[in-house]
Structure 1
Amino acid sequence: MRSRFRLSNWLLALTVAVVVGVVGLVTAFSNPGGRFEETLGLAWLFELRGSGPAPENAVVVAVDGRRLPREPGSNCAAAPRPYPDRWPRSCHARLIDTLNRLGAEAIVYDVGFTEPGADGEDRRLADAIRSSGRVALLQPIEVDSVAGVSNISVERLRQPVSALKQAAAGAAPFPLPKVPVRVSQFWAFKPSLGDVPTLPALALQVRNVDLLPRFLELLAGAGLSGIPEATQASRANLEGLMRKLRRRLAGLEWLPGHLDAALTKDETPEHIQRRLRALSQLYTGPDSYYFNLYGPPDTVPTYRADRLLEGSEGPSPDLAGKVVFVGEARLAAADKDGFYTVFSQADGIDLSGVELAATAYGNLLDRSYVNPARPWLAVAILMGFGAVCGILAGLVPGVWVATAVLLVAAVHVGAALLIFAQDQLWLPVATPVVVQAPVAALLGLALQYARARRQRRNAARAVGYYVPPEVAENLVEGATPSRVSELRYGACLATDIEGYTRISQTMPPVELAGYMNGYFETLVSEIERQGGYACQTVADSVIGVWLGQPEEADVAARACVAALYLQQAVDAFNARRAGPVLRTRVGLHVGWMALGHVGGAGHFAYTVTGDTPNVASRLENTNKRLGTRILASASAFEGAEAECVGRYVGSFVPRGKSERIRVIEVLCRRDEAPEATLSLRRDFEAALSLYEAGDRAGAGERFKAILEEHPGDGPCHYYLRKCLPRHGSVAGDDGQRADTP
């Protein structure tokens, strides 16, 4: 478990956290990313939340020119008209009177009365509007292209019929995009039209016009200058007053809190506080808001105008305290007033403009509109999501990374949904789930895979210090060391240091260990450079092997050449290091050997065993008696004759063997052989022939003659001693018997 918390894991986690966090920030704060979050993330939250409770403060009255009231004697019973603004105006007048009688606090017409009605019709409707005193009308927006200039247009408000406009409490536009995209936001004030209030904002102010003097007093009490006098608060020129307040209060984020404190202090009733808070937020808040949609079409309570006028709606609805929005509703997608939203239905029925106006009003009054996360909160969430994913990617095993990241994404969506449903706070959802989570999972898996590969390489390299590369790979991949060794053919090289016991007694252990490490590095590097493998290092000895097939002479040749290069490398080591001079003795033999793991109880060594390494070791030891540095069996040297120069130095029976082995001293590479070496070989082999033929006297004379020219030649000294009468047939050290005729 503790290995999961290593520094490398935390570095991987930090890398994933930073990358995933930055990817989230770049995505969410780019224009395409913002649209992506709105199109997908906000839609998810609405769909998962489902429909909310219908607003208590707004209703819709659906007006359809194809369903005119059929009251006898009324001109409303004329032939159906296709659009509500084509209704006989007297029908609208009767509708206003009916709504007033039912207790409506304000009536908002999402119908553009821009064309005059029939004779006397406009006057009849204007009288009804004036009598009500709380009717707001729609001002349609027209977009005109600038002549001669492409891609530039001008917005223009179309005014209702003058008589109606003068009678109304106000008129305002309700701009929504009429293009095939999802509607998510609404305007409270339209900056491009001079901060004109929109229909929902006007409806809020008309509903609370009785609180306008109190609101102006609170503003004056807050120490604000340029606030109209409370005596100026009236229904006359309500739009102009709203513009002045908007321009003076826009951006004063401290003001709602200040007014809250003032309202609480003077114990203003809660329902009044609610309405005043809505006004303060309206004038100080942003120009636009995100809809908090209540649900699919007809979620906002809806009544049919023709049934209200005919009295066939059933029990008369109680409209006390409510704002009534009049317009086209419950229309098919093909009609002109349907808007695509997250609650648009599969049968093509969209939310109508009048339902959206009622929804926007309810959001403003209750301050229940959707609030996008502030930038600092969005940054914290995206970076926090990246941090959690990074920790999982660094500490969770690779096969579980994707599952863990998906689980975190699901928890994040659940938490965001709960906060959205309770507080209307819109936290980033699409970016973490669709962008960050896959990036975290893929990046975490990729980095873990790369780290695992790097660790396997490092482990193989580390194990490779003790076993061959292919064996190291198998062990790293999980193979269990087998007690069954592999029978292989090859050449075996055994080394030893002359006088190592004496040297070890003259140096402190730690200093000796460092010195020997340098020596072993020299030997092992040279063995590997020549294609061999150093399979065992014990005390002062090294055993190297070259593997191949019996018919491959190259195996023995590489071992013999390696022995010569090894001696040169040791000489170079002695020259560059301050310390005792090390003389290396080498023995070489070829044959079959067992290569594998040796040991038990969970501890193994990878080494070579069998007769071949044993003979190589005995030949290395024979160097002591002969005063030589490299001895090879004749079978080992046979394959190296094309590359090396050697001389036959006798036939010996190693300890534990019953057969003699012809021994060759490896002198030098053939392309580097000096004439003196070749002459020594000829003279020595002639003298040795006399010795092996039994002519010890003649052989002795020959060895003496050679020593006069080559006084340091070890084999000549060895055989000269054996030629003396007192030697006879002697046993060499460690049980080797020299062949004496």
Structure 2
Amino acid sequence: MTPPRILVVDDEPDLEALISQKFRRRVREGELDLLFAHDGKHALEVLEENPKIDIVLSDINMPRMDGLTLLDRLSEMETDLQTVMVSAYGDMNNIRAAMNRGAFDFVTKPIEFEDLDRTIAKTLEHLELLRQLRTARDKAEQARLTLSRYFSPTVVETLSRDPEAIEAKGERRVATFLFTDLADFTQLVESSDSDLIVEILNEYLDGMTRTIFSHGGTVMKIIGDAIQVIFGAPVDDPEHAAHAVACALALDEFAQGFQKKLLDRGIALGDTRIGVNSGDAIIGNFGGKSYFDYTAYGDAVNTAARLEQANKTIGTRICTSESVAKGIDNFSGRPIGRLLLKGKTQAVTCYEPLSEALVDTDQVRDYKAAYELLEASDPKARQSFAALLAECEDDPLILFHLGRLLAGETGADIEAVG
């Protein structure tokens, strides 16, 4: 262990000899290391050559550069060294000025070595505490930076105040789960330069996670281009369903803009598909102390993943369950149907969320009217969807339902998707 290093700054040659004699045993036994300088300028030169100095013991009245000026220069340096000033007894004006400029303590001349011993010990104790606090702060900041990769700023702040919230434990609670996936990205990877793929994926994931965090979501996992998100944990959020849907719409807006940006460069990027579901799950930090994996398990989580995949069949980009719609006052969206998802025995009533501005359009009102006919197995449903497609030929959900009707299917029950 490196012994504490003290730089003594004084223009009196006798003082160097006295201090060397006083501390010779401690220096010989490796308990202390002493360096000397004759004035402030010389001290700065010694510090430049020996940056790891713990205490500067400096006289105030010296030629070339006095102790107060040296103190000012030391305060400009990025170092945690502490300064003890030496002044004539009764020179309170200079002592007060030194303390105001950041000196930790002072001793008076003629120096009483017992007092100097106590002052050095106290200064070293203070310095050690200061370094421990700085280490703790740095670790806390590193932990905060790590958390910020997974959690929104609000959640990070909460977890910083309550570290026990991320201990290795789980709890059953109701939350909303959001899954995303980028269509056809594997084909793009196989046909493109690796540097381009890294550039695209990094920019895409950065934009997606920023959007998630801005809506209070917690990233559970990123697997390739797919993202798994939770709303309502680890911090309680009564509006988790509403925040998840708002996030889904914002993610869709970002993804569509990013897709167009790449298309302008001649790069074809697939749609981002999003599934959202609310329900009961076991949520917590799994993996113990050596591995951090904040995640969720349960049917509600699996259903969100299935809904994301269902978009591929029905043509939508966002698919939410009825449990999500029921968790939001005045939910804005249009019904998709009752989807029998793979691995499930009961159908899930699903919706495509829309912005409030789109809900009041003639297109959505006409769709809802046609859907009512579909749900009632009314033969007029086929004509209504055909008329809608003539007006909205780029609407994949209208095309999906019309295709079902033309194939002889009726009703709003949709078999085996996702």
1:612 counterpart = 2:303: no
1:442 counterpart = 2:126: yes
Match of 2:341?
A: 654
Match of 1:724?
A: 406
Q: Deviations over 1:682-739 (max 9, x none)?
A: 22222222222223x4211111000000001111111111112456799978x339xx
Q: CA deviation at 1:673?
A: 3.0
Q: Deviations over 1:642-697 (max 9, x none)?
A: 3x5200111112222222221111121x2x3375xx322222222222222223x4
Question: Is the 1:492–1:544 contact (alpha carbons within 8 Å) kept by the matching residues of 2?
Answer: yes
Partner Cα distance (1:729, 1:614) in 2 = 26
Q: Deviations over 1:189-214 (max 9, x none)?
A: xxxxxxxxxxxxxxxxxxxxxxxxxx
Task: Give 2:362's match in structure 1, choosing from 663, 679, 686.
Answer: 679
1:639 counterpart = 2:324: no
Match of 1:516?
A: 201
Query: Which structure 2 residues correspond to residues 112-127 of structure 1 after superposition, within 5 A?
Result: none
TM-score (norm 1): 0.40
Which structure 2 segments of 5+ residues have no match? 23-35, 56-110
Look up the SS of the partner of 2:232 in the other structure. Answer: strand
Match of 1:571?
A: 256
Question: Is the 2:389–2:398 contact (alpha carbons within 8 Å) kept by the matching residues of 1?
Answer: yes
Task: Give 1:690's match in structure 2, choosing from 370, 373, 381.
Answer: 373
1:534 counterpart = 2:219: yes
Look up the SS of the partner of 1:573 in the other structure. Answer: helix
| Cα 1:25/1:430, change in 2 over 3 Å | farther
1:595 counterpart = 2:283: yes
Question: Is the 2:177–2:229 contact (alpha carbons within 8 Å) kept by the matching residues of 1?
Answer: yes
Flag the structure with more relative contact order, 1 or 2, with Cα contacts below 8 A and sequence separation at least 6. Answer: 1
Question: Is the 1:589–1:613 contact (alpha carbons within 8 Å) kept by the matching residues of 2?
Answer: yes
| Cα 1:513/1:481, change in 2 over 3 Å | farther
Q: CA deviation at 1:474?
A: 9.4
| Cα 1:732/1:503, change in 2 over 3 Å | farther
Task: Give 2:140's match in structure 1, choosing from 436, 456, 480.
Answer: 456
Question: Is the 1:461–1:472 contact (alpha carbons within 8 Å) kept by the matching residues of 2?
Answer: no
Query: Which structure 2 residues correspond to residues 343-492 of structure 1 after superposition, within 5 A?
Result: 389=54, 429=113, 433-466=117-150, 469=156, 473=160, 482=168, 484-492=169-177
Match of 1:664?
A: 351
| Cα 1:428/1:501, change in 2 over 3 Å | same
Look up the SS of the partner of 1:488 in the other structure. Answer: strand
Which structure 1 segments of 5+ residues have no match? 6-12, 46-373, 391-426
Query: Which structure 2 residues correspond to residues 30-429 of structure 1 after superposition, within 5 A?
Result: 389=54, 429=113
Question: Is the 1:560–1:640 contact (alpha carbons within 8 Å) kept by the matching residues of 2?
Answer: no
Match of 2:311?
A: 623
Question: Is the 2:175–2:230 contact (alpha carbons within 8 Å) kept by the matching residues of 1?
Answer: yes
TM-score (norm 2): 0.67
For 1:525, give the aligned amino acid: R
| Cα 1:553/1:626, change in 2 over 3 Å | farther
Question: Is the 2:172–2:282 contact (alpha carbons within 8 Å) kept by the matching residues of 1?
Answer: yes
Match of 2:210?
A: 525
Question: Is the 2:144–2:160 contact (alpha carbons within 8 Å) kept by the matching residues of 1?
Answer: yes
Look up the SS of the partner of 1:712 in the other structure. Answer: coil
Q: Deviations over 1:416-435 (max 9, x none)?
A: xxxxxxxxxxx995686244
Q: Deviations over 1:287-333 (max 9, x none)?
A: xxxxxxxxxxxxxxxxxxxxxxxxxxxxxxxxxxxxxxxxxxxxxxx
| Cα 1:595/1:389, change in 2 over 3 Å | same
Instruction: Kindly report the root-mean-square deviation, in angstroms, between the aligned alpha carbons of the 2 structures.
Output: 4.4
What is the aligned residue count? 338
Match of 1:701?
A: 383
Q: CA deviation at 1:548?
A: 6.6
| Cα 1:591/1:720, change in 2 over 3 Å | same
Q: CA deviation at 1:570?
A: 2.1
Partner Cα distance (1:466, 1:725) in 2 = 46
Q: CA deviation at 1:602?
A: 5.1
Q: CA deviation at 1:545?
A: 1.4
Question: Is the 2:285–2:292 contact (alpha carbons within 8 Å) kept by the matching residues of 1?
Answer: yes
| Cα 1:472/1:29, change in 2 over 3 Å | farther
Partner Cα distance (2:182, 2:395) in 1 = 19
Look up the SS of the partner of 2:332 in the other structure. Answer: strand
| Cα 1:654/1:375, change in 2 over 3 Å | closer
| Cα 1:687/1:455, change in 2 over 3 Å | same
